Amino acid sequence: MTVYAEENGVLKFHGSRGVTTVAAVGLVSASLLLGCAKEDDARADPPSPGPKAPSITQAATATATAGTASIAGKVSFVGEAPVASALDLNADPVCASTHDSPVMGRDVIVGADGGLKNVFVYVQSGASGDYDAPDAEVVLDQKGCVYEPHAVALQVGQTLNLLNSDSTTHNVHALPEENKPFNTSMPIPGMVIPKTFDETEIFKVKCDVHPWMSSYVGVFDNPYFAITGADGSFKLSGLPAGTYTVAARHEMYGEQLLEVTVGDGEAGEAAFSWGG
Query: Cβ neighbours of residue 211 under 8 Å, at least 6 residues apart?
Result: none
Q: Identify the pLDDT of residue 87.
A: 95
pLDDT at 30: 37
pLDDT band at 41 (very low <50, low <70, confident <90, very high): very low
User: Phi, psi at residue 192, to the nearest 5°?
Assistant: -130, 130
d(CA 85, CA 93): 20
The CATH number for 79's domain is 2.60.40.420
Give the chain's domain count: 1
For 8, the domain range is: 3-275
Using DSSP's 3-state secondary structure scheme, residue 78 falls into strand
- pLDDT band (50, 70, 90) for residue 4: low
Confidence label for 32 from pLDDT (cuts 50, 70 and 90): very low
The SS3 assignment for 26 reads helix
Q: What share of the chain has pLDDT > 90, as a percent?
A: 75
What pLDDT is recorded for position 2? 53
pTM score, whole prediction: 0.79
Nearest to 155 by CA among 215, 216, 223, 204: 223
Residue 7 has pLDDT above 90, yes or no: no
Residue 258, pLDDT > 70, answer yes
Mean pLDDT of the chain: 84
Q: Is the pLDDT of residue 114 over 70?
A: yes
Asked which of 63-67, 107-111, 184-188 is least confident by mean pLDDT, the reply is 63-67
Q: What confidence tens digit (pLDDT) does each residue in 127-176 have?
A: 998 999 999 999 999 999 999 999 999 999 999 999 999 999 999 999 99
Greater model confidence, 221 or 30: 221
